[in-house]
Chain A
């Protein structure tokens, strides 16, 4: 990884983001972390059905990326997408209700953790299929071009998705047509248990951009300002008609792939190394926050999550009589 490059982008970003914006970003990162920790608790209590994919440790990527986009832009999210969803401005209570399978949830309890969407807010949904969102992003890009609007679409996926055929087809197509697509790869180092070093013979996933004739950058995904800067630049390029960008954000998930993961493929030391680079601690440090202020902000996030849980728990279950709804329009 080119540290000098990361350092440069961070310097540039500092000029772009005000202290107030950075404080807001820190809060959103804390909200994401508390949301997911609470989700884990609820799962342990048997209140959440199925499985979940937690992004604890990856919050800077989600917050930096969404922060560089506008409300008119589109998001196509991954299965590990709670962070991006919250960063996009989704309500924690409606997300939590979806998580608990309630009628009041974003998807009326039909989608759950892996399919949270809010189409009205241009959040076109999380996707349970690795690389499933990439081909769709091509269509959104075409649609933007046909409607001649100043929008972009950001599709988020993991390192594992970059080994799917859909990755190749989609980036190639977006490239030949110069579509306003931002391909955001969250390289959290593992595709379930498969480490990136064993799944590809290159050092940087962003090197793959060259094969499609598009811009590719690798940034420190735990540095919210670096991510912001990269996505901001990609958006500028897309709006200017200069086509798509592949951004690789190097980050790490502290938790297992999903609830069934015993994490036999990595060491505690490795996890600890990454925890030392924790994105929330880093930003708080950068902002010279006192422990008291930081704890206070976490408390605020906790309170918001508690309210979300209260809302979700008080919400009704879907009515079985409505089970057939939504298959066809």
Chain B
């Protein structure tokens, strides 16, 4: 895969759009389907201009029918196409769960491995836009709990493009979780098509005092926290799983072996969140013998996302929370 260094900078939303566009240019089996993705360009502008380029047969606007959107992806994928569905807000996947969990995820296994379901379901998750409790959820853990689904959560424009192109080429149903607040974040992204293998984590930053395992927007916040902490002489190592399931945890475990301390950070609510899986993998591994402190989780409060700006801000981990938690861990205050 090409290095991001020395290339132009584009935003996360542009990176997602470029991955879709290049995938559709390269493979006529790829098509988009979802609500308001046509002339409107998608609720977050991801497919802006794509209807004009590819036409209504490949950028398909649907009625508000999430079960049928997901099912349409399953049926098309089973019969030789490579659909990319959009669920306008991650919360709305609740209306398509049957098709995703009981059909897309299980068809291959139930049929004795004799069918493939190469589909991608893109959806923006996360809070921070004032959209309140029904438009701000982070539900990724639901999907990591379903064998047969792959779950991808890119944290940068570079990862968004490479992981999405890989997801579209993958033979399995992939849930591709974008983050609304990341859409405007810029970063270097090569112009040529490239893929980042699903399942491979990324060491975003090297450090020796503490391993911070973060997902999606929390990777960006961890990077900002790292700069603050560096001023105090604390060097954190940031590991981004990128693919939550299946997830090769070896890099994360090696990192904890090196630092002896681990902090897991995600936006989704803490109880039964993905962090619990990450912590379990750490303490079940050889890293257990190297731990100098309890493994800690920093996650969303166990509440629905509130509307009020200040309450919303305090519902999920922010940079200062990561700084404070990291400081306590490194200083041995736990």
Contact = CB atoms under 8 A, between A and B. Distances in A.
Contacts of B77: 139
B112 A146 contact: no
Contacts of A169: 63, 65, 67-68
Contacts of A115: 110-111
Nearest to A135: B71
B81 A106 contact: no
Contact of B78 (A136, A147, A166): A136
B76 A329 contact: no
Given A119-B78, A132-B102, A146-B57, A165 B71 contact: no
Given A107-B112, A111-B111, A125-B107, A141 B75 contact: yes
Interface string A293-329: 0000000000000000000000000000000011111
Interface in B232-252: 246
A139 B74 contact: yes
B76 A325 contact: no
B103 A329 contact: no
Query: Which 7 A-B pairs rank lowest in CB-CB distance, beginning with the nearest?
Result: A135-B71, A139-B75, A326-B113, A108-B112, A329-B171, A169-B65, A107-B112
A173 B115 contact: no
A138 B111 contact: no
B114 A119 contact: yes
20 contacts: A107-B112, A108-B112, A111-B112, A115-B110, A125-B110, A128-B102, A132-B98, A132-B103, A139-B71, A139-B78, A140-B78, A142-B31, A142-B60, A166-B67, A172-B65, A173-B63, A173-B68, A176-B63, A325-B113, A328-B171
B83 interface: yes
A137 interface: yes
Contact of B116 (A120, A141, A329): A329
Given A135-B71, A328-B172, A146 B81 contact: yes
Interface of B: 29, 31, 33, 57, 60, 62-63, 65, 67-68, 70-81, 83, 98-99, 102-103, 107-116, 118, 147-148, 150, 171-172, 246
A120 B172 CA distance: 18
A166 B81 CA distance: 22
- Among A132, A135, A176, A325, which residue has the most Cβ atoms of chain B within 10 A? A135
A194 to B, nearest CB: 20
A327 B149 CA distance: 9
A88 interface: no
A26 B87 CA distance: 47
Contacts of B115: 117, 119, 124-125
A129 B29 CA distance: 28
Given A111-B110, A132-B103, 6 more contacts: A137-B71, A140-B78, A146-B76, A165-B67, A166-B98, A169-B67
A312 B298 CA distance: 54
B311 to A, nearest CB: 34
Nearest to A117: B111
A135 B99 contact: yes
A99 interface: no
A: contact size bracket:
35 or more
A22 to B, nearest CB: 32
A110 B81 CA distance: 25
A52 interface: no
A329 B112 contact: no
B72 A142 contact: yes
Contacts of B57: 145-146
A109 B112 contact: yes
Contacts of B111: 106-107, 110-111, 115, 117, 119, 125, 326
B51 to A, nearest CB: 16
Contacts of B112: 105-111, 326
Nearest to B29: A146
Contacts of B108: 326-329
A327 B109 contact: yes
Contacts of A143: 75-76, 79-81
A74 interface: yes
- Among A110, A125, A143, A145, which residue has the most Cβ atoms of chain B within 10 A? A143
Contacts of B116: 329
Contacts of A165: 67
Nearest to A123: B111
A170 interface: yes
A108 B115 CA distance: 12
A156 interface: no
Given A111-B110, A119-B111, A327-B147, A142 B68 contact: no
Nearest to B66: A169
B71 A129 contact: no
Contact of A144 (B79, B83, B110, B147): B79
B79 A140 contact: yes
A6 B63 CA distance: 35
A207 to B, nearest CB: 21
Contact of B73 (A108, A119, A129, A139): A139
A207 B47 CA distance: 38
Contacts of B63: 169, 172-173, 176
B79 A107 contact: no
A73 to B, nearest CB: 11
